[in-house]
Amino acid sequence: MTIKNEIPYVITFDSTHSAMEAEKRLIKTGAKVHVIPTPRQITANCGLSIKISGISQEGLESLLEELKIEKKALYRMESFHKIEKVL
């Protein structure tokens, strides 16, 4: 069972194609997913990231592995100005 978490996570990718493919896969699971511009505080090769909420970090990591989503990094986004890399 996945613990609900209202603090969103931001997933970064190496390419726009990877971000869009991940969005398609995640939407099919019913996850609260939004494609967003990569926040300025995050250095990334791709200008698009995915913001996802309503899932714990452990649940998200398992979901990404299960769906074979290749991310660049995972960040916890407590606010727009407080983003912390977690993986």
Q: Does a structural domain hold residue 41?
A: yes
Question: What's the total number of domains in the chain?
Answer: 1
What predicted TM-score, i.e. pTM, was given to this entire model? 0.84
CATH number at residue 29: 3.30.70
pLDDT at 44: 63
Q: Does a structural domain hold residue 62?
A: yes
pLDDT, the chain, mean: 87
Q: Does a structural domain hold residue 73?
A: yes
Closest CA to 13 of 61, 40, 39, 50: 50
What domain range includes position 24?
A: 9-85
Is residue 13 over pLDDT 70? yes
Is residue 52 over pLDDT 90? yes
DSSP state letters, 36-68? EEPPTTS--SSSEEEEEESS-HHHHHHHHHHTT
